[in-house]
Structures are given as structure tokens and as C-alpha cells.
Amino acid sequence: MTIVDIDTIDLRFFNAVRTNKQEIYDPAGHGDNFLTAYNAWAWTGDAQRDRIAKHDVNAWMNDILGIPPGQGSRIKTILLNATWRGICHDWTSHVWGRTSFKLDAFANAAGLGLDEVSARDRTLGPCRR
């Protein structure tokens, strides 16, 4: 590990290193909120999941998990769809994925029933032809 005087380093080097630094003081984004909900959903039992899904998911996510109001229904759409739940979990399992995760885009795709398109190849790497 090298300790560098921040006033004397090259700006390009600073920007390259700084963009990879996790900001612990940033507010939680959509990817962080989804991952929190996914982990809580995975740790609950089947009976409790059914009860949460039938009742007010927004209240559960807002009161228990601290997820802002309005995101609960979109996260519920993803959590109830097994294909998209797995894809979104894979996407948000690393820092870049959490910061680039857009809840509206994934919830819309899950709500449209595009499972046959996404289930064909669940890799997040380059397209295979």
C-alpha cells in the first residue's frame, strides 16, 4: 500500500482511483435498497413471505427495512418473479451493479413478463453468439 499526498498526485490518477472507492456516506441507491430487500426476503420463511406478499409490502419495506416509500411495489414485482429476482440479485452483487441499478427498468421488465427472453442467458458478461 502506498500513501500519497493528495495535493501532489496527478488528476487522472486521482480520478481513476477515486471512482473505485466505495462512498460509505452516500445515501442508499436503488441497487442497495433492492439488495437489502432481497436479503430480507431470502431469510424469511415461506409462510411469512406469503403473508408479506398478500398484505402491505410497502409498509414492511418502509418500517422494517428502511426503504423509501414508493419503491416497495416495484421491488415486490421483482421479488415475486423468480427469473428477474435472480438476475437483479446477480446484478446488484457488486458495487458497480448496485450503483448502476435502475429499479424502474428492471421492475418494468419483470412486470411485462419478459421471462423467456431473460432466462435464456443469465450471464451479465458480453453477448454470446
- pLDDT per position as a tens digit, 19-59: 545 666 667 788 888 998 898 888 888 888 888 777 777 78
Grid cell digits, residue 23: 462512498
Q: What percent of the chain has pLDDT over 90?
A: 9
Give the global pTM: 0.67
Distance of alpha carbon 98 from alpha carbon 94, whole angstroms: 6
The most confident of the ranges 44-53, 74-83, 118-127 is: 74-83
The counts of H helices and E strands in the chain are 9, 0
